[in-house]
Amino acid sequence: MSRYKNASASNAAVALKYNPQQDYSPVVVASGHGKVAERIINLADENGVPVFRDDSTAAMLTMLNVGQGVPPELYQIVAGIYVQVLQIAKKQI
């Protein structure tokens, strides 16, 4: 179960990956609403992947297609997410 209150009840979830040697920008690797969002969150949790919860950001990112890179207009938002995720990961060590 996610460490975030009501995370399994989320309406939207997006998983991003970023490999600076391979990707120009973070890439959407999973995206969905309802039960699919719940599954994305649960899989992340089961695999020790930090989960950052922000419903408005998730709603924006679900407008992107799986396999699509994050557009420049969303770089600042995604950079903020990565900072939060790195902080969460550091606390877990």
With a threshold of 0.75, does the pTM exceed it? Answer: yes
- Residue 93's pLDDT is 65
* CA dist., res. 44 & res. 18, Å (int): 15
- Confidence at 3, pLDDT banded by 50, 70, 90: very low
7-92 topology per CATH: name from scop (3.40.1690)
Per-residue pLDDT reduced to its tens digit, 44-88: 999 988 888 888 899 899 999 999 999 999 999 999 988 988 887
Residue 24, exposed/middle/buried by CB under 10 A (0-12, 13-18, 19+)?
A: exposed
User: Would you say residue 10 has pLDDT above 60?
Assistant: no
Q: Which tokens go with 60?
A: 């924006």
